[in-house]
A and B are shown apart, each in its own frame.
Chain A
Amino acid sequence: MSGTVLSLRGITKTFGAVAALTAIDLDVRRGEVVAVVGDNGAGKSTLVKILSGVHAATEGTITFEGRQVTIAGPADAHALGIATVFQDLALCENLNVIENLFLGQELGPYRLDDVAMEVRSWELLRQLSAKIPSVRTPIASLSGGQRQTVAIARSLLADPKVVILDEPTAALGVAQTAEVLGLIRRLREQGLGVIMISHNMADVKAVADTVAVLRLGRNNGVFAADEVSEEEIVAAITGATQNAIGNASGNAIGNVSGNTGGLRS
């Protein structure tokens, strides 16, 4: 496999007394789809926010293309080539599709090139087989699935090296889910590293090369997707690897602390 593009070592993030992430290691190679799975509050969204510069890690190192880097803000992540599609999409409802796609990276800062931006917008949306009738309508008038498509299209605009998708298919219809999964495969063919956060095992098995399991903010196993069964992944997510009693108590603790982490993240 080709070289590692993004490598995390010992990433820890605490919110006050709550350790949302503890000593997380993660490697993403070029042309690899890494699915990060875990129960609610396992720290998946916190991990996304650290990589995209929304939160700073409390401890640990991030190595990007062989260089150790710090991601202090969203602009740093952009500059490195890490593009993120957030679960809450982070779109401006008062702006139209084109303005949202190019937000912060408009063509022609002092004299906007709206023709070029509209042409590029249509290219991106066609590539995603997006069902958006007009790119000049404000985001407020689009459905959830259409908004998701706009958010994904936006992440591809700046030719990123790593794309992070936080629950990309959660709000999508059947056809759009298939399109997004197809798109993720195309990203892989283009040599991009893809991190996909997902709850949907079918999606994970369909596109992921590697499955990294988080549990209670810690690494709980990294599997090659074609060598692992769905049951094994679920077992790693829930911690159901020992006897039934340990499993049940582990679940209870997981849910309590997990929810706290979810609220803070």
Chain B
Amino acid sequence: MSTPTDLLDERLIGRAGVRGAAEGMLDRVRSGDLGVLPVVIGLLVIGTVFQLLNPIFLSSTNLVNLTLELVPVGVMALGVVCVLLVGQIDLSVGSAGGLTSAVMAVLFVSKGMPAVVAVLAALALGAVIGWIYGQILNRFGVPSFVITMAGLLGLLGVQLYVLGAQGSINLPFDSSLVAFAQLAFLPPWLSYALVVVAAVWLFLSGHLHARRRRRAGLSARSVNLLLARSAALLVGVGAVVWYLNQTRGVGWMFVLFLGLVLVMHYVLSRTRFGKSMYAVGGNAEAARRAGINVKAVYTSVFVLCSTFAAVGGVLAAARLAAVNQASGGGDVNLNAIAAAVIGGTSLFGGRGTAFAALLGIVVIQAISSGLTLLNLDSSFRFMVTGAVLLLAVAVDSVARRSRVSHGRA
């Protein structure tokens, strides 16, 4: 068989099959392209330390709780990833979530509207907030840092105004929203079925793609590698699901979050819009000259981010079964940004994936949960989360320097 078109250059080092993939990965890590490695190591350290300090930490009950607790801020972090990718920032995701959830609660509880209408109104409000941010950025050129910091304060003010003198609205416990966030779990058979479907789908899509590449005369992943990858997914995720199923199981809210992450992963890696986001974050002028409407990209990304913030806010309200003056306040804003950065999204734009939101929020929530189990109050939580954020950015900076010196930047 002749050499594939993309491997003709004699300077390329031949790597094939499972072993070649492993060697390639090792090579990337050495040259500073760390990928998810620091996060995985971080999670192992966090898991070991907290488990030694308190054996409840890795119990099925606590992990189930963890998967539910991380969803609201995780969804917000997903929006932050998008904004960071285009080289901007949104400091107001928490406030946007707080305001939109307050509006949702007022419409749903005080005005007696159907839950669907109230939620859709909240999402629409989120979209409008993002659209306004985008317009201010595009028309007046105010840095997004300042725009969203103004938004952070302004939206909080509106939230307090909307909630009124009472300051707190409880969502009824028998409502579909609260049930979804607190009581809705996948039946075990369905959770296993989904894992199997995911593994089979991963193999099939990889196999079809490899076949198309081979037909086009390009190199492709071997069947063994694809099988190994799917088997790893099947065993790894299957084990986690089995462990969660020992108690309450996998929550629908967590599945929703995973679904959003997968959708955003597809948008970022497989659509023209996603590529234009990376291009704008990497070199906005080059993107403009390539005919990309940079302003439209900024606007749509801010709309996306604020809409995700609204989703996160509504989920947080449903989880708490209440909206109050503190909803979306405190450390929510910074946790969402920290999650995106810890997960590997660059603060300088053009680098990161949707999975960064998932990995980052798991780290942050694990720390938060562990410290809570140790009966340490939020003073310690803030200190530790701050230290972890600094560590994550430091690791990224060192890795970036290594990438530059290895010509991979």
A and B associate: yes
A residues in contact (CB < 8 Å) with B: 52, 54, 74-75, 78, 84, 86, 90-95, 99, 103-106, 108-112, 115-116, 118-119, 122, 131-136, 138, 140-141
Q: A112-B271, A115-B216, A132-B9 are in contact. List 19 more A-B contacts (CB 8 A).
A: A74-B288, A92-B278, A93-B282, A94-B278, A94-B351, A95-B275, A99-B278, A103-B275, A106-B275, A109-B273, A112-B270, A112-B272, A116-B216, A118-B218, A122-B6, A134-B9, A140-B408, A141-B407, A141-B409
Name the contact of B279 in the complex, choosing from A103, A116, A133 (C-beta under 8 A): A103
Instruction: Identify the 7 closest CB pairs spanning chains A and B, nearest first.
Output: A94-B282, A92-B282, A104-B290, A94-B350, A109-B272, A90-B286, A141-B407
Whole-angstrom distance between the Cβ of B24 and the nearest chain A Cβ:
11
Whole-angstrom distance between the Cβ of A122 and the nearest chain B Cβ:
5
- With the chains together, A15 CA to B278 CA distance in Å? 32
**A112: chain B residues within 8 A (beta carbon):** 270-272, 275
B286 touches A74 (CB 8 A): no
Name the contact of A103 in the complex, choosing from B11, B209, B273, B287 (C-beta under 8 A): B287
B27 sits at the interface (CB 8 A): no
Also in contact, A109 and B271, with CB within 8 A (given A74-B290, A103-B279): yes
- With the chains together, A52 CA to B285 CA distance in Å? 13
**A–B complex contacts, Cβ < 8 Å, 23 sampled:** A74-B289, A74-B290, A75-B293, A90-B285, A90-B290, A92-B279, A94-B278, A94-B281, A94-B283, A94-B350, A95-B275, A95-B278, A99-B279, A111-B270, A112-B272, A116-B216, A122-B6, A133-B9, A133-B12, A134-B6, A140-B407, A140-B409, A141-B407
B254-287, CB < 8 A from A: 270-273, 275-276, 278-279, 281-283, 285-287
Contact with A along B1-17 (1 / 0, CB 8 A): 00001100101100000
- With the chains together, A131 CA to B286 CA distance in Å? 23
Contact with A along B215-254 (1 / 0, CB 8 A): 0111000000000000000000000000000000000000
Name the contact of B283 in the complex, choosing from A90, A108, A116 (C-beta under 8 A): A90
**A109: chain B residues within 8 A (beta carbon):** 271-273
B55 sits at the interface (CB 8 A): no
Whole-angstrom distance between the Cβ of A88 and the nearest chain B Cβ:
9
The number of A-B residue pairs with CB atoms under 8 Å apart is: 107
**A116: chain B residues within 8 A (beta carbon):** 216
A119 touches B270 (CB 8 A): no
B330 sits at the interface (CB 8 A): no
A75 touches B271 (CB 8 A): no
B168-213, CB < 8 A from A: 209, 212-213
B291 sits at the interface (CB 8 A): yes
Also in contact, A91 and B408, with CB within 8 A (given A75-B293, A133-B9, A133-B11): no
B292 sits at the interface (CB 8 A): yes
**B271: chain A residues within 8 A (beta carbon):** 109-112
How many chain B residues sit at the interface, stated as a range, is 35 or more
- With the chains together, A140 CA to B5 CA distance in Å? 23
In the complex formed, the residue of B with least CB distance to A121 is: B6
B408 touches A122 (CB 8 A): no
Also in contact, A93 and B409, with CB within 8 A (given A104-B287, A104-B290): yes
**B286: chain A residues within 8 A (beta carbon):** 90-92, 103
In the complex formed, the residue of B with least CB distance to A93 is: B282
Whole-angstrom distance between the Cβ of A63 and the nearest chain B Cβ:
22
B281 touches A75 (CB 8 A): no
- With the chains together, A108 CA to B275 CA distance in Å? 12
Interface centre among B272, B287, B408 (most CB of A within 10 A): B272
**A54: chain B residues within 8 A (beta carbon):** 289
**B351: chain A residues within 8 A (beta carbon):** 94
**B279: chain A residues within 8 A (beta carbon):** 92, 95, 99, 103-104
- With the chains together, A176 CA to B12 CA distance in Å? 21
Name the contact of A74 in the complex, choosing from B209, B216, B217, B291 (C-beta under 8 A): B291
